[in-house]
Structure 1
């Protein structure tokens, strides 16, 4: 199954948007580092942050997974980013190019759990 995990860039207040824009280079660098370290797992960076409006951004990763243990490194990365940068995350599946969100986690939504997310995804 192909999954994605995004940094939630929509429904942010003005302060959160400003903070996200300030932290964008650090977030992009952390995600790029993860993707490079997980090339064997076919992790890919999703980095579409060209719009002036954060709500249009898509920033995160996609990666094929077969079981919850494959999710753990990515979920742990995003949990850490959520705490460090005061963000939330969206996780879901990609099928036929369409993204289907299944769960949200992060600073405000609560820590993500790879086992539970795998169950939501039907792994």
Structure 2
């Protein structure tokens, strides 16, 4: 009987993964700076729950915002990167976070997509998940 050892991921895949992670973190930092510049207050960044992760939770003008940040070459590509299963995970995570933080005071809630485009252009799509 021959045993096969799982070979490690090729080096180029590891580099690509590290680069994607770094790009994602940079995009999130830009999104945070943008929402703060617009008068918002970031409550949580990379909020992890057993149901999923929410990139940014912010409060702006009485609205609790759960934002998914995508660094993509176009606004269309950012929108296409959100799948129904991911929307469900984010919404479940948001329910948990609201229950776990009863001290949050807000008038409304929405789920936004923040697209970070080439040249560090930040575009917000408010209430992006309403279609689901």
Q: For the superposition of Structure 1 and Structure 2, which TM-score range results when normalised by the shorter chain?
A: 0.3 to 0.5
Structure number with greater Rg is 2
As a proportion of its length, which structure holds more helix?
A: 1
TM-score of the two chains, using structure 2 as the length reference:
0.36
Highest relative contact order (Cα 8 Å, sep 6+), 1 or 2?
1
Taking structure 1 as the reference length, what is the TM-score of the superposition?
Answer: 0.38
